[in-house]
Amino acid sequence: MSEDAKIKVTIDGKTIEVAPGTTILNAARQIGGEVVPPAMCYYSSLEGSGGKCRTCLVEVSKGSEKDPRPMPKLMVSCSTMVMDGMEVKNTTSERVLEARKGVVEFLLINHPLDCPVCDQAGECHLQDLAFEHGLSKTRYEFKRREFEKVDIGEYIKLHMTRCILCYRCVYTANQLTDSREHGVLKRGDAAEIGTFIEKNLKNDFIGNVIDVCPVGALTDKTFRFRSRVWYTKPVDAHCECTKCSGNAVLWMIGDEISRVTARKDAYGEVKEFICNECRFDKKDKSQWTIEGPRKISRHSVISANHYSKEIPKHTTLLNKA
């Protein structure tokens, strides 16, 4: 097959042509909408990510045109490559939905019920996943894992109790910075994120571990408990920076910058990582050129009260007001 040749794959009844070597997850993202499986550990820009959380499981009802036999087990869509003529079921498969409920239940086994005080509330992927697929109450009767909160860097606080061990922060530090000072320590149910002895996170780009974390395990100490994200106004802005692109999102409270984050796409992934100087030090509006309001999905709680509804032209009384 030539490099320019495309292969067809059908996901939940929707067909698309993609390049060879495309994963089922990325093919679904090209289609968009509800056919896209959730992903808590996969990150397209991080090499080696994926295959750990199991939330993106899908059913392959037809392997390919040459071998139409279905795959007997549910497959991880973030690392399974599409084949020509493959047919995949995501939300249309009862097996997938039932398995996803079980995966979410496992992810929540040790997760604390502290959404009301968690800084990640409102933009937490696990919160969305639990709302869509979680049970109303837990069946787990044993003692949960508990950890003390740790300052693992000048600007970063670690809540290991909330961590789901997605490895994103480890891959980010390993691939984005010159040296990695933290990793996954121990094994099995004792595994935890931690720093090496007498080390802390102090790289120029280490603040990006906050952005890639899908839960509230790694939080920005300069923003902790300052405000809920839906009370802030996100705006796109850029600045002149010699270390990074300078493209960021400013989260405003009035005229004050409460926090600075990198820009994320529709799937919560950062495409242009920013440096610590832009993230933590530049908190004055005069240091930034504001481009305009950040486009937030209307389904997100962050968009609450951020959109004005146009007055219908046929409503004459309202038009006169």
pLDDT over 70 at 116, yes or no: yes
**pLDDT above 90 for 90:** yes
pLDDT confidence bin for 165, thresholds 50/70/90? very high
pTM score, whole prediction: 0.85
The two tokens of residue 269 are 């992934």
CA dist 319 and 317 (Å) reads 5
Q: How far is residue 261's CA from residue 279's CA, in Å, rounded to a whole number?
A: 6
Quick one: tokens of 87?
């047919």
The tens digit of pLDDT for each residue in 8-59 reads 999 999 999 999 999 999 999 999 888 999 999 999 999 989 889 999 999 9
Q: What is the pLDDT of residues 184-197, one digit of tens each?
A: 888 888 888 888 87
Residue 228 in tokens: 């809920």
Domain coordinates of the chain in residue numbers?
7-103, 115-220, 229-303
How many CA atoms lie within 13 Å of 13's alpha carbon, on the beta-carbon side? 5
For residue 75, pLDDT beyond 60 = yes
In the chain, the amino acid numbered 240 is: E
* pLDDT band of 321, cuts 50, 70, 90: very low
Per CATH, is 115-220 categorized as 3.40.190.180?
Answer: no
pLDDT of residue 4: 67
∠ CA(272), CA(276), CA(277), 5° rounding? 105
What does the pLDDT read at residue 132? 87
Per-residue pLDDT band for 296 (boundaries 50, 70, 90) equals confident
Burial 154-171 (b: 16+ CB within 10 A, else e): ebbbbbbbbbbbbbbbbb
Three-state secondary structure string covering the chain: CCCCCCEEEEECCEEEEECCCCEHHHHHHHHCHHHCCCCCCCCCCCCCCCCCCCCCEEEEEECCCCCCCCCCCCEECCCCECCCCEEEECCCCHHHHHHHHHHHHHHCCCCCCCHHHCCCCCCCHHHHHHHHHCCCCCCCCCCCCCCCCEECECCEEECHHHCCCCCHHHHHHHHHCCCCCEEEECCHHHCEEEECCCCCECCCCCCHHHHHCCCCCEEECCCCCCCCHHHCEEEEEECCCCCCCCEEEEEEECCEEEEEECCECCCCCECCCCCHHHHHHCCCHHHCEEEEECCCCCCCHHHCCCCCCCCCCCCHHHHHC
Write the burial class of residue 314 (CB in 10 Å: 0-12 exposed, 13-18 middle, 19+ buried).
exposed
CATH fold for domain 7-103? Ubiquitin-like (UB roll) (3.10.20)
The mean pLDDT of the chain is: 87
Residues with Cβ within 8 Å of 14's Cβ and at least 6 positions away in sequence, in order, are 31, 35
pLDDT at 318: 47
